[in-house]
Chain A
Amino acid sequence: MSYHLTLAETETSLRKVARACGLDWGLAEEAGKAARWLAAFNLPGPETMLAHLQELAGKDYRAFMPQSSAQPWHASGGLLCPIITGAALADRSAQMLDGKVFTLGPTAYPLLLAATVGQAARCHQTVFTTAWAGVRVSCFENGLSIEGNRDDLLLTRVDAVSCQQDDLSSPQQLPSTMAYAIDEEIVKHIEEFAFKIYAPATEASRAGAGAGLTDND
């Protein structure tokens, strides 16, 4: 059954899922923003993010981090995490603004990487384009455009990705939405994962929290 997830709910829930799957808070924040950004353009950000994070859960995510000394970037574990790598690229946006093109080796869910880097495009009011297989995803301040083969958008892993500043002056914008239609079963799944960052109640927490009374006056 279809369900409408608001953008605020998307960001909050996926941030929690990322944390539950072991990412540090700062990276979990990036995951929430990226999922929200994609959902805003009716792209399956929440579902893709959930799938990726589930694969990451319980593993040492440092094995998915880029070794940035030489291009193309690689992860010691073989596959780059799009959130960690996307954040590292966003942190290097000044270099992209200077014309540097970053190249990556094997990468999981490149759409998530494009969205994570895209957050920096918004702040710089520029366009960052991420390309893989037959598709190019460009993020600019308030929009996102896709060129090429849309079938490649949702690839779960690719062997090569590039990321650079672009000079698209009027990219074709996708229609944006404020409430993302999503399968209710997937929402339940997201909520189950998000719930894992909540602390189970204890006697002490029950006694000490908020209003200790049934207050009726």
Chain B
Amino acid sequence: MDCADQNPMPDAANFRRPPEVVMRLARMGSFHQTRLSFMRSLLRRLKNEDWKFKRNLWAINEQGFGRAVYTVYGPERAYSLVAFSHDLPDEMRSDRVIATAWDTTFSLYDGIPSAADLDRLEQNVPKQEAGRISDSELSLSRANRSVRLWQHVVDRLAAGRQPDVDQLEAVGYLVRTTAVYGSGKFGAADRLSIAGRPEVSAPFQAELLSVWLTRAFSLDLVEHIARARGGDQAVPIEPEMRRRIGVGNSTGLGMAPFLINHPALLNNWMMAREEALARVRALPQAEPAAIAEFKRHFERACFNLSQWHSEHPIQVEKLAVLRADLELMASYIAGESLSEDHPWDRFYRWAEESLSLEGQEQLVSLLIEPYGELVDELTQCMDADEHLAFFIDGAMPVARLYEIIETRCQWALQVDYEQLENRARFWYTSAEKLEPRVGERFHEPGAEYELPLAIGYDIKQMHAVLTIWEGGQTTAEFLLAHPEHRHTARRVQNLAVRPYAEIQDNLIAADMLPIDILRCKLSFFGATKFDPRSDRWVRICMYQDAPFPHELLAAAP
């Protein structure tokens, strides 16, 4: 679905931020989750459609090892998280993606698994990449216990006491996933096979459903072990504290190329987010109820910031700046400005002048919070058929191809690639880790294995060749003579119809920060507490403060 087709507020277009403002890494690396984020749209759907929940199997021994099945029942279909809990020796504990054993492993089954399915999955799911699942499964994932928190929580609960709040808040999760595979990976069902189902057609719904159920499993598991240990004196975690526990995740470079390799999807995510902001900015007045709702979310953002920790110098500085920004915002809110006309637009424009990118993007998330009725429908246009972006219009005159670059790709043309720092990096897939990595072009071997992710550089190269072509010749003729520019021509033509499809920055520059790409993607998932551990990988928290299945959904019979 195209957002433009269902636009109830044509005026919003005047308030939309242009791609050259939005599609910059520094800004994308400052994104926060919004109410359009995929975790939140998933839970909204489950609640609105009155899904049911049941833990259909709990075969876990006193040590905490065994299998369990958590099922959610929708109007038409059911989905089951199949969970396995294992005895993992300490020396095998690693959250690197290349690990070979984990505390817990999972698969999201399409329906309700039979005993034979569970046996089949037990033969394969614990092996993760080395196993093989089938088109009856929608995801494959694993998680390790938090060494910092797990034992503490077990000890406390077994002794009849609640966990220490500070320790709990410092970590925020009991288990941390290290990979969640979906869509046709390792034998799982192809995305095409579920694309027609409304409940999972939006991006990453199956994967994020599995993570939500994984969180419930992790809490049930820790309480189960504590009960086995402490017997009658053991207690469960108090519900309020329980909700503060999410699921952790470590994400590295493996995820970074996704946004670059899915330009139609990136465009639609950005369009939806920008349209949501534009609709709110276009509102002539703010009703008192909306202002109150905004303030409630503002207070929550302040609290969340107080619980957001990082030791990485970049993030430490960003958090300090965000803290100052929130204070400035508090002063702004306390003033009279929200009662003037177009108050949200005024607020946003003030923020552009007064706040850092962190603060501006925090405000973007907050502004759309009170307006679910106005913006939530936009989640329906956040998926994409990448095939449509694959097509090359061979009849397009070369002059038009050139013109698109001139008008839409100045960000690429303005970079001087003769300067070595502007092409210092290259993206490649590591034979050892089977994952994308970033290399130093002038200090490491392997540049001949470069992946086609140097988008700006490639566009500038094609532009240089196009200058000597006659404008009336066709793209088809050009590509027959220059097949090396085919992947770039595809992207350039795509930009003419999908203006937010490209990150408008140099992805091979010496100072490029891969964590900016990761944070952008993870914010669309709905992640919080971004905690970079280097410029290449980041730790996050998912579903913190979200309701649990048994809280959100009625019990299935």
Contacts and interface: CB of A to CB of B under 8 A. Distances in A.
B192 interface: yes
Contact of B190 (A6, A24, A84, A201): A6
A84 B191 CA distance: 28
A205 B486 contact: no
Contact of B483 (A84, A93, A178): A84
A14 interface: no
A24 B391 CA distance: 17
B135 interface: yes
Given A8-B191, A84-B483, A209 B391 contact: no
B124 interface: no
Interface string B15-46: 00000000000000000000000000000000
Contacts of A204: 439-440, 443-444
Interface string B186-198: 0111111100000
A137 to B, nearest CB: 19
Interface residues of A, number: 51
Given A24-B483, A91-B475, A94-B395, A6 B188 contact: yes
A136 interface: no
B475 A217 contact: no
B445 A179 contact: no
B320 interface: no
A123, A198, A199, A201 pick with most chain B CB within 10 angstroms: A199
Interface in A159-184: 178-179
B135 A6 contact: yes
B446 A205 contact: yes
Nearest to B479: A91
A153 interface: no
Interface string A101-122: 0000000000000000001101
A202 B387 CA distance: 36
B490 interface: yes
A90 B252 CA distance: 37
Nearest to A194: B429
A29 B449 CA distance: 16
A179 B135 contact: yes
A9 interface: yes
A215 interface: yes
B533 interface: yes
Contacts of B490: 26, 29
A150 interface: no
Contacts of A211: 95-96, 250, 252, 533-534, 537
A9, A91, A94, A179 pick with most chain B CB within 10 angstroms: A91
Interface string A64-95: 01101000000000000000100110111111
B495 interface: no
B262 interface: no
Interface in B471-512: 474-477, 479-480, 483-490
Contacts of A66: 480
A210 B445 contact: no
B183 interface: yes
A123 B483 contact: no
A200 interface: yes
A26 B134 CA distance: 30
User: Which of the four size classes fits the interface of chain B?
Assistant: 35 or more
B142 to A, nearest CB: 15
A29 B480 contact: no
B230 interface: no
A149 interface: no
Contacts of A29: 390, 486-487, 490
A200 B431 contact: yes
A127 interface: no
B147 A200 contact: no
Contacts of A122: 387
Contact of A178 (B93, B146, B190): B190
A99 to B, nearest CB: 14
Contact of A91 (B437, B444, B476): B476
A4 B253 contact: no
A7 B184 contact: yes
Nearest to A98: B395
B431 A33 contact: no
B394 interface: yes
B184 A8 contact: yes
A94 B395 CA distance: 7
A27 interface: yes
B408 interface: no
B148 interface: yes
Interface in A1-26: 4, 6-9, 23-26
B253 A210 contact: yes
Given A6-B184, A24-B483, A199-B439, A123 B253 contact: no
Contacts of A58: none
Contacts of B487: 24-26, 29
B111 to A, nearest CB: 15
Nearest to B183: A8
B163 interface: no
B446 A202 contact: yes
Nearest to B485: A26
Nearest to A85: B480
Interface in B131-176: 134-135, 144, 146-148, 171
B5 interface: no
22 contacts: A4-B135, A7-B192, A8-B185, A24-B486, A26-B487, A27-B483, A29-B487, A65-B483, A91-B475, A178-B189, A179-B187, A199-B428, A199-B446, A204-B440, A204-B443, A205-B439, A205-B446, A209-B253, A211-B96, A215-B95, A216-B94, A217-B147
Given A25-B486, A216-B147, 8 more contacts: A26-B479, A26-B486, A178-B192, A199-B446, A209-B438, A215-B96, A216-B95, A217-B171
In the A-B complex, the 9 residue pairs with the smallest Cβ-Cβ separation, listed nearest first, are A26-B486, A8-B184, A91-B394, A91-B476, A198-B431, A26-B487, A201-B432, A210-B252, A199-B446
